[in-house]
Structure 1
Amino acid sequence: MTNIDIEIPHPIAAALTILVALCAIVTVDHFTDFQASAGGRAPEEIVRDAEGEGLRLRQQQAVLQKREEILRYQLEMLREERRLRGPGISAAIEADIDRSEQMLLDLIRDQQEAEGKIMLTLKQIWDAQGRAISISRKAGKGVISLTWPVEPTLGISAGFNDVHYEELFGMPHKAIDIPVDQGSEVRAAADGVVEDVSDNGYGFNSITIRHNGFATLNGHVESFLVEEGDTVRQGQPIALSGGRPGTRGAGHITTGPHDHFELIVDGERVDPMLYLPPVPN
């Protein structure tokens, strides 16, 4: 029988080369499987989503730590509204405030129930914002020109990236809050198409409109005056405002009766005050 001798001049180096090649094959296979499980998304998108999930978990913990502070703040807002309305307060509004006060007192006593409701509201907010971000990326390019969605006669109760808001609620505020009477008309800030109407009952209700080059979101709305797919003109009524704790659309993270207004440009939330007319003196 003929013997065939194979000479390997550097056996250790050769072994390392084979090992590296095998590792590369395994790594590629695992990465391919990972990409397939992630819907074939690009690595940077997967990393970005993971970072976003980590940020949400940290924010969730921060909000939960402030659970009682949030509820007591809302309780104080209700009592302040009652005081400002004075003896002329209507029976309907007073009954509304009474119900809301009792709900908050019950939640203060029941930590588990309170945490569940706050977390549900947080998820509803994040879901609505995620949809608005996606909508804004389909808005193309255009010039941003806005009018006030509600009259800012009482100014702004929470600004964009408001430090005091984050101290109170444990989460950043990528919007402006415009205080206004419960049930006031909310108007389209620009021409556009209604893309998302989110009705969560007594949770966080919102409406998102796609405009030419951007999107807007109005949150804590009590009821809707338009439907998904409707074309709207600037200044057209689209909803009635909410925000009073314990009422439709308010959820459990709210600063009282107001319109929560967001501006989203190509997936990024920006300060609406940069594009709105000056607040009247």
Structure 2
Amino acid sequence: MFNLLKSVIGGNKKAGLPIELPEAFPLDGTEVETAPRAECSHKPDHIKADVNHTGHMRVFAASDEEASALEAEAMRHVRGKKTVFYGETAVSAYISGPPPLRLITITKNGDKLCTYPFFNLGKPLEARITGITECRNGYEGQLEIFTKGSTLSFFDVMYFKNKNLYYPGKEVKVALSGIAYVLARAGDASDNDLAIQYENGDVDDYVFRGIVKEVLEFEALGGKARAVEVPLRASADSAIEIHMCVTQNVLNEKLRKGDYVSGIMWLHGLVL
């Protein structure tokens, strides 16, 4: 398994990205910039403990050890690097893995802060920032937004780069996607399809139900996965169509357009 992961992350194995699924945001290549000046004096609304990404990584690995090996191998085969200087502090994001499923490793002056996956799909969505939560490490964060008549929270994969540009009330465009922790067929469709925050998870974890709009297979970090388009209905009047990554570890059976499913997803994305 490790050799397979090495070949995929290193680029010797072609990615199975369907032509219908262009990445939401270009990540390859190298960029170096100075952090933008803060647009206002607003500080994060909340400071929280650093995010534990173990659950996010385990959907791609059979064990914690395999997940750790995957993280280590990712740093040996970097496809993109984005560095932002906050004064003398250099914060870098190392991007590895073929699209659309990427791994992002954040470092501060060369010391690793975290590694997390990013399912880089999503259509632009008009939104307004209503809240900002920053992790204690200072370079991970979650945004609360108001869009299509409802409020959602998501993990911002580019928080390290854009944190100085955020403040409540700012109008933005975002691209959101999901990674499924749990997914199963749910029998007959229900009128109660409202997505709710998972009470045993973080603010960006959602329990949802809905009808599958599309299923496309691709290769993700050495295994098979599917990009599943489902509605995320956070209000009774509107829904957001989300592309969600579903690995074989999560659901190892056929999934078809029109299936009614329920599950738990990690909602993440970025401000465009």
Pair in the same fold by TM > 0.5 = no
Bigger radius of gyration: 1
The structure carrying a bigger strand percent of its residues is: 2
- After TM superposition, the score normalised by the length of structure 1 is 0.27
